[in-house]
Structure 1
Amino acid sequence: MKKFKCECGHTNPEGTILCEACGKPIEGNQHIEGNDKKQLLNMRYDGSARRSQTYNKSIVDKIWSFFSSVKVGVWLIVITLVASAIGSIFPQEMYIPVDAPNRNPDVFYEERYGIFGLIYYQLGFHNLYSSWWYMILIGLIGVSLVIASLDRFVPLFKALRNQKAKRHVNFLTRQRLFSKTESASAEELNTIKENLKKQRYKVRDEDGFLLAEKGRFSRWGPYVNHIGLIIILLAAILRSTPFFYTNEYVWVREGEQLVIPGTDGEYYIENKNFTLETYDENDERFRDAISLEGEAVPSNYQTDAVIYQAVDNPLPGAEPELNQLTVGSIRMNHPLKFDGYSVYQSGYQANEFDQMSFKVHRVDDPDEEALGTFTVDLADPEPVYELDNGFKVELRNYYPDYFLQEDGTPASETNYSRNPAFVMFVYPPDSEEPEVSFLGIGKNIDASGENEYNVGITDFKMRDASGLTVRKDYSLPFFGLGAAIFMIGVIQGMYWQHRRIWISPKDGGVLLAAHTNKNWYGVKKDIEKAISGTSINNVTDQEELNEKNNGTGGLS
């Protein structure tokens, strides 16, 4: 970067408006007086040179200048907020109801929400918060925060570090708060110095020139805010990685042992027992709720579970060796925790069919003597059942939660065996022509009306199923840290002010000037206390004076 030397001897980088040492106005910020109007200095960033305002030649300069703009940062935030709002119109893919007839997103959104759901899915809003373009938006906001902060923080830090007590006359006379005293004694200056120290000002004395300063740390509040926001954005990006965040839903039936999703096969869960407790129907507190819903109100539902950990990675198809890790009960708002994971009780399905037993008998047999029997595991039905007496039953269609569509065709409302129905092909011994039967709860339909054999239900077993949410979130501490740092920055910049008072001897008198980033009334009161008991003139607010005399104010 090109540099130039001020008449005070300090070398400033190109683009500096006010000399970092003496404050002399440079480049287009010259002294203007006339018609009772005095142009005040632009003290933003103390007139220091900003890279984005100085260089715009190379591609790096253009990128830096683009992202250092506050407008660009605001627009990136607005676009992200609008996208986030659109993403909340319909549930995200991970929140598609587990009992939905078809959880495939390319079908679910159109079936449930019509043309708007289809557009929502095709535009990719169904999986918004982990999509590549949303992550790019988050990253761009972070880049904008970093560049905008560095573009302003570094030159401001250098300017405040290099400032001297002895300031150029133009710098002092063009401050918003200014006064001139024709004569002042050394004792009066010493009194002012002591009074400022009593008000917790840090006073620097350079050959009789005084700089009283306090609250400089408040200037860094916005940049502390940015650090907090950057940490929050990093946490949001990290949350999209499986290592930092896992949120999976799994159904586990009583007596069933399953690998826990999202753990790469390392952990397993076994549902030992499911318990459902309801409030007493005679309890007046819940009588209205019971009457409205038509059923009892659950007071507790919990899963007694065992968590296992795989000892090693088995060969494909081989059963892993499991070690019991922990045992406990999972209840609402009381998760079972292990190795950074939390398992929450999120739902249940009571009285779900587990197994059904059937028999084959002759249609014209009044005693319905079984010619063969077989049992169907409804969680994992086999396609064909070979019976001992030569019969073969093919399970052609299975509807776990049967209902009849408007066009008269059967379908399943969910994938859970709440109301199972079957289309069975029965092959008699030594015959390749099947007899077709439709069988369900309270239904036994002969498709052709000419069947010689019939299939009937003889027994069934039922069990409960637990809906469990498995969650791991290592990003929360980062969100908490970022939020805490952000609030520190808010407090730092809101409740303190950077106040500076310059006192410069001149021709036997004194020039007194002051500047603050906010609360001008407060710094005026500090000056009144400091000059109390002396003949030093109190400061005048030159911005108010300009407005009074000319109807307009200068820069502040």
Structure 2
Amino acid sequence: MEKVKCDCGHVNPYGTYLCESCGKPLIEDKGTVADMRYEGVARRSQTYSKTIIDKIWNFFSSVKVGIWIIILLLLASALGSLLPQEMYLPRGEQAITYYEEYYGFFGKLFYQLGFHNLYTSWWYLLLIAALGISLVICSLDRVVPLYRALKTQRVTRHEGFLKRQRLIAKTDKLEDAQQEIAKAEKILLAKKYQIRKENGNLLAEKGRFSRWGPYINHVGLIIFLIGAMLRFFPEMYIDDNIWVRDGEVAVIKGTDGEFFLRNNGFTVELYDEDEELYREAMERTGSPAVKSYETAATLLKRSNTGTIGVDTELEEVKDHVIRVNDPLTFEGYSLYQVDYKLNELAEFTFVLEAADEHADQSELADIRFTVDLYDPQTVYEFDNGFRIDILEYFPNFIINDDREPSTMNRIPDNPRLIFAVFTPEMDPEKDTGELSLVGIQVNEPLNGENDYIIRMVDVKMKNVTALTVRKDRTIPILIVGGLIFMVGLVQGSYWHHRRIWLQDRNGEIWVAAHANKNWYGLKKDLQAVAAGSKIPVPTDQKESEEAEQTRKVKEEGVTEDDGRTEQ
């Protein structure tokens, strides 16, 4: 599309409403007041619409589209907060069963629609990216032509431009027109206006920088969104949980197996039940009130490059007692105390006895073995020829929907074991052995009457501490984005772009003025000019138009009423 050349010689982009240089109207418009929102310049989205790039640009340059994207993000975020995200589920719980079990049909739908991992889902990230694209295109579509028009504007403006300003007035012919303009100049300089002069005409302007406030807002938001999206990269953001039992060592998530944590001991302190201040809370919850809980921890670092778990040598880095709001910090990571579990089952100790109380028990006296509930071995062999195999292990025993034994998770909250006992006369390769299901207060034979019974004689329990591993390198980016956004907000809210044109046209002084907001403040400045010179206070054409429309509506209403009365 060809550019449009104005009579003043300036070449304007196709679709320009007011010449960027002199302000001459280039497109016929029946309205009295000119549309000065973007200085009457042509925006790309309003000019080009042929190619696919044009259509994409026009789609994202729409403010309505941006608002709808924000609404969709808000709705999705609100729905995602109705139920806990998968990363916050209790330890050992599986999302595929947890949501339906605890929240019914709504929980199942929540899971199937992918809201359990909302903030890392592809469509949520796509919405954030679409919002960022919308902000960029909206800003470029408006700020580039606006900047060009304000930079190109001349002091001397076309008569049609002045007549179509909201505030406009002119004097009769004056012999000392230039002196009056000089008086106005002094008044405007005192009010901090910047003055430009050309051929005896004057342009007073201040607060132009406020026009960039909304676009600085957009820059801040774009940086903030970039920081938010960087949180989906492990090197930039980690927020995960680890559970470590007393005396055990666990790898710290997100460190690629370089750092480990040893739980030297978890302790919890409770309020005294006799303390009246907390008695009501303890009675209401049915559990003691926790005063404090902490983990005595040692940070370990791998000292070789071997495979984790295979001859891994660990060296102590530092000791720290992790408390709530007192994390263990190292190399950008922080480990926070968030939860705990007391007396988790850790080991079962069993003995083998003859089912017949009158049988000789002497050969079974040395058959005693311990099962690690976190990592049980499958075969236990003894010197007298007996052998005990663990055929199945269910850490958290349940009967599933198919009426078969299964486990809810890998946490030993309700452990059951299926044992096979082989005597010295049996061949484990050929015989099935004596089968029994054993657990807490459970000891059932599975293949008829057994000659031998596996009896539990000891239980060992451990405390477990829950720590949140957090690393956030996006905080500086988010802070910068937020600060830039606030700068733009203040810049656009507390300052206003004001312009006053004074032109000497054959002895008549024409005065026109425009403000992007706060017309009351601009009118006060013009009243000060009028008080110190012969330049009159301009008429507000918009108010005059509205008053005229109101008058016509009232007159039409009165006429209709009169007609009805006559009938």
TM range (shorter): over 0.9
Separation (CA, whole Å) in 2 of partners of 1:300 and 1:137: 42
Q: Take 1:413 and 1:346, find their aligned partners in 2: how far apart are those partners?
A: 23
Contact 2:420 2:432 in 1 (8 A): no
Q: What is the aligned-residue identity percentage?
A: 47
Displacement of 1:260 = 1.3
Out of 33, 45, 50, the position equivalent to 1:52 is: 45
Give matches, 1:371-390, under 5 Å: 371=365, 372-390=367-385
Hey, what does 1:391 align to over in structure 2?
Answer: 386
Note the C-alpha offset of 1:460. 2.8
Q: Higher mean Cα deviation, 108-117 or 53-62?
A: 108-117
State the partner residue of 1:114: 104
C-alpha distance in structure 2 between counterparts of 1:55 and 1:293, whole Å: 67
Note closer, same or farther for the CA distance 1:552–1:311 as it changes in structure 2 (3 Å cut).
Answer: farther
Where does residue 126 of structure 2 map in the other structure? 136
Shift of the 455–22 alpha-carbon distance from structure 1 to 2, 3 Å rule, reads same
| TM superposition shift of 1:403 | 6.5
Q: Which residue identity lines up with residue 84 of structure 2 in the other structure?
A: P
1:423 to 399, 407, 418: 418
CA displacement at 1:542 relative to structure 2: 0.6
The verdict on how the C-alpha distance between 1:292 and 1:428 changes in structure 2, with shifts beyond 3 A counting, is: farther
Q: SS of the counterpart of 1:44?
A: coil
* SS of match in other structure, 1:47: coil
Give deviations 1:184-236, integer Å, cap 9, x for gaps: 42322211100000001111111211101011111111101100110111112
Q: Which residue is equivalent to 2:116?
A: 126
Per the alignment, do residues 407 and 76 of structure 1 end up closer, same or farther by CA in structure 2, a change over 3 Å counting?
closer
Q: Secondary structure at the match of 2:343?
A: strand
Name the counterpart of 2:460: 461
Residues 373, 387 of structure 1: 8 Å contact kept: no
Kept in 2: contact 1:403–1:413 (CA 8 A): yes
Q: Alpha carbon RMSD of aligned pairs, Å?
A: 2.3
Matching residue's letter, 1:96: L
Structure 2 residue corresponding to 1:154, chosen from 144, 148, 173: 144
The answer to whether 1:75 aligns with 2:65 is: no
1:40 and 2:33 aligned: yes
Between stretches 414-423 and 205-214, larger displacement belongs to 414-423
Q: Is the contact made by 2:339 and 2:467 (CA closer than 8 Å) also made in structure 1? A: yes
Question: Is 1:301 aligned with 2:293?
Answer: yes
Q: Write out aligned runs for 1:223-242 (5 A).
A: 223-242=215-234
Deviations 1:305-347 (A, max 9, x none): 1112223431476333323222201111221111111111111
- Counterpart-to-counterpart distance in 1, 2:406 and 2:551: 77
- Cα deviation digits, residues 444-491 of structure 1 (max 9, x gap): 334456221111122232221111111111112212221111111111
Q: Does 1:497 align with 2:492?
A: no
* C-alpha distance 368-137 of structure 1, shift in aligned 2 (>3 A): same
1:162 counterpart letter in structure 2: T
1:35 aligns with none
Aligned residue for 1:20, secondary structure, equals coil
Q: Is the 8 A contact 1:182 1:509 kept in 2?
A: yes
Deviation at 1:121, TM superposition (A): 2.5
Match of 1:98 in 2: 91
For this pair of structures, how many residues does the alignment match? 543
SS of 1:86's equivalent? helix
Find the residue that maps to 2:38 and give its secondary structure.
Answer: helix
**Mapped partners of 1:233, 1:3: distance in 2:** 37
Map 1:146-295; keep pairs closer than 5 Å.
146-184=136-174, 185=176, 186-295=178-287
Instruction: Letter of the 2:114 partner, please give it.
Output: G
CA drift of 1:54 comes to 1.4
Contact (CA 8 Å) 1:70, 1:148: kept in 2 or not? Answer: yes
2:15 counterpart residue number = 15
* 3-state SS, counterpart of residue 189 of structure 1: helix
**SS of corresponding position for 1:489:** helix
Q: Does the 8 A contact of 2:257 with 2:308 survive in 1?
A: no
Identify which range, 115-124 or 325-334, moves more after superposition.
115-124
SS in 1 for 2:18: coil
Letter in 1 for 2:485: F
- The answer (yes or no) to whether the contact 2:184–2:529 under 8 Å persists in 1 is yes
1:412-491 equivalences under 5 Å are: 412=407, 415-431=410-426, 432-447=431-446, 450-491=449-490
Change (3 A) 1:527 1:390: same
Q: Is the 8 A contact 2:184 2:532 kept in 1?
A: no
- In structure 2, how many angstroms separate the alpha carbons of the residues matched to 1:202 and 1:465? 70
Change (3 A) 1:50 1:381: same
Give the drift of 1:110: 3.0
